[in-house]
Copies of this chain bind each other. A is one copy, B any other.
Amino acid sequence: MTFPRYTPLVAALPSTVPFVGPETQERERGAAFDARLGANENTFGPSPRAIDAMQAAAGDVWMYGDAQSHDLRKALAAEHGVRPEHIVVGEGIDGLLGYLVRLVVGEGDAVVTSEGAYPTFNYHVSGFGGVLHKVPYRDDREDPEALIEKAREVGAKLVYIANPDNPMGSWHSGADLLAALDRLPEGCLMIVDEAYVECAPEGTALPVQPDDPRVIRMRTFSKVYGMAGARIGYALAAPDLIRAFDKVRNHFGINRIAQAGALAALEDRDWLAHVQGEIATARDRIGQIARDNGLTPLPSATNFVAIDCGGDGALAARVVAGLIARGVFVRMPFAAPQNRCIRVSAAPAETLEFFARALPEALAEAREG
């Protein structure tokens, strides 16, 4: 007999993890990266006011965080023109996706996503015994019509779309996505992962009514707000669904320092605008570096740029390996044909110079095979 007796579901789960972190890779290569451009972190950092708030909160960390994230939810409600009852704060979008999948997905339940979309969502679905159905990208964008058609076909309980998309950086207008929702089958909830929406053109956020029961939107302080290590994000949905999270969430799970930092970050609109500008500049610079090497940058509404390396996934994987060997941490999409690309996060010019210097050699090496 084995100790302990795992559930049959768990016993059958693979031990693979969604992502290998940069620190793990640094330990494996025996050296730190010069440029950390692979996890879509915000190298421009959090608001100085958020840093101040977190430093001030450090001495208070002997207290559990507020289990209701009251002050933050109140501020977020004002920001979005909704009520606090429309908002649940969680341990990043990863944590919230885990809770949501647990609420809805039992063994054998159908879930729809795109081939090559966010692996951590898939990890949660598999982890609760759901069956993933995947539709391909269309012109390097997620395909709302195809996702919804597949959801209807398989009787999905959840359908996932990231807008803007990770890993491609592509996007749909919020109005188009809202129109597509009218074809969503009964009993299917759409997750709109808006992790990067603050980097996107006006009109990208889903202009949905807050009480609409068909959709839940995910937001985070990890990206444009520069607080990935704080593990704090939130979901916007109808109050019934938000209340359901209370049945399964880790009520005292939100770090007190993170709550203080997120509140301060939200209030610092000047820093947000500053970072948005820096990200736009960095996207242009990444695009220029790509073109200087004869490669094609894809349009991006995120804090990263997918660069078409002009070959197949094997070529792109060799480019990634060559960059990592030269101290530049990047990643690439998982599925063909998007895996012809590498994905490079926005960063200050001096950080991107490491990429600019490493890319020609990595590319030449990769082309030799």
A contact residues vs B (CB 8 Å cutoff): 1-10, 13-15, 17-24, 27, 36, 39, 41-46, 51, 54-55, 57-68, 70, 91-92, 94-95, 98, 102-106, 109, 127, 157-158, 186-189, 213-214, 222, 226-231, 238, 241, 243-244, 246-248, 250-258, 261
Contact = CB atoms under 8 A, between A and B. Distances in A.
Contacts of A188: 4
Q: Number of copies of this chain in the oligomer?
A: 2
Given A247-B14, A250-B91, A253-B94, A61 B229 contact: yes
A235 to B, nearest CB: 13
* Pairs A-B, 4 closest by C-beta atoms: A229-B256, A3-B213, A4-B189, A21-B67
A228 B61 contact: yes
A211 to B, nearest CB: 11
Given A10-B244, A250-B94, A229 B21 contact: no
Nearest to A12: B247
A188 B14 CA distance: 23
Contacts of A238: 3
The A interface, classified by DSSP as helix, strand, loop or mixed, is loop
Contacts of A23: 66-68, 70
A11 to B, nearest CB: 9
A104 B106 CA distance: 16
A258 B62 CA distance: 12
B64 A41 contact: yes
A46 B17 contact: no
A214 B43 contact: no
B261 A61 contact: yes
A94 B246 CA distance: 15
A243 B15 CA distance: 8
Contact of A41 (B18, B62, B243, B246): B62
Contact of A252 (B21, B44, B54, B67): B21
A58 B61 contact: no
Contacts of A105: 7
A44 B61 CA distance: 11
16 contacts: A3-B241, A4-B241, A5-B157, A6-B103, A6-B104, A17-B251, A21-B64, A23-B67, A43-B62, A45-B59, A54-B55, A55-B55, A61-B227, A94-B253, A229-B255, A255-B257
A55 B6 CA distance: 40
Contacts of A255: 229-231, 255, 257-258
Given A67-B23, A68-B23, A250-B95, A229 B62 contact: yes
B4 A187 contact: yes
Contact of A257 (B36, B66, B95, B229): B229
